[in-house]
Amino acid sequence: MAVGSSTSVNRGIPDDIDLRRVPSHVACVMDGNGRWAQARGLARSKGHQAGEQALIDVVEAALDIQVKWLTIYVLSTENWRRPTSELQFLLNNVKRVLLHWRDKLHDRGVRIQFIGRRDRRVPAHLGELMDEVVALTEDNRNMTLTAAFNYGGRAEIVDAVRKIVASGMPVEQVTEKAIASHLYDPDMPDPDLIIRTAGEYRTSNFLLWRSAYSEFYFTETPWPDFRRRHFFEAVSVYQKRVRRFGGIPRSPEVRA
């Protein structure tokens, strides 16, 4: 389904999805692109390219059930260790996807932003395009799509601590709230649900501070095959869980 199309209101939302209890923030570790391609005798770059439709399907699905925040893991600080040819394709692919989809996402009221380090490894032309996309969509309110690019959870915490030290904050004022307020996006809520594809069961340095009480959903489906039905399945599983946050619910029916 293309972004910006006009279709029926339901758009295939399963009956077991409670639209009153949709997670406010869903994050995705989009894993398995390279393995998907290699299993088909293709170059790893073909897997990254194939993951584009999965991304658009997930964005559409999230919009349809009114998820307010969607965060995707695009490039980690560790991914720079990959072969130069693959990295070059990844960077070019990010640019191509942004150019192709920015106006369509803008029309759907999606605010696009980026978190991560903007260092010398990020090409200047790509950084400029990112800034243009942020400026174009900054007033949109239907959903915030955050791309974690050149991002690492540990790096985010280190950068937050550096800001605190540089500010001269007294040690007794360094609290969890203070650290959270110095993360890359202080306004971002903690993710309610984190989805990881391709059968891996680890966080891979993603949103380490914010995921303390996130619900995780793991699937064997590689990212290029992930579609809106898979996204809805993850949300359905999430809605069946009881979120205690270290406490005890008042009754078995109390769910977050």
Q: How far apart are CA 11 and CA 104, in angstroms?
A: 18
Residue 174 phi, psi (nearest 5): -80, 100
Distance of CA 94 to the CA centre of its chain: 14
Structure tokens at 211: 């995921």
Indicate if 79 belongs to the active site.
Answer: yes
174: nearest Cα among 188, 163, 184, 164:
164
Query: 16, 79, 140, 205: which is the annotated catalytic residue?
Result: 79
State the pairing for strand pair 215-218/193-196: parallel
Query: 10, 31, 107, 159: which is the annotated catalytic residue?
Result: 31
State the pairing for strand pair 193-196/143-151: unpaired
Q: CA triplet 79, 31, 130: central angle to 5 degrees?
A: 55
195: nearest Cα among 9, 11, 67, 10:
67
The type of residue at 60 is E
For residue 32, is it left (φ>0), alpha (ψ between -120 and 50) or beta?
A: left
Report, as residue numbers or ranges, the catalytic residues.
Answer: 31, 79
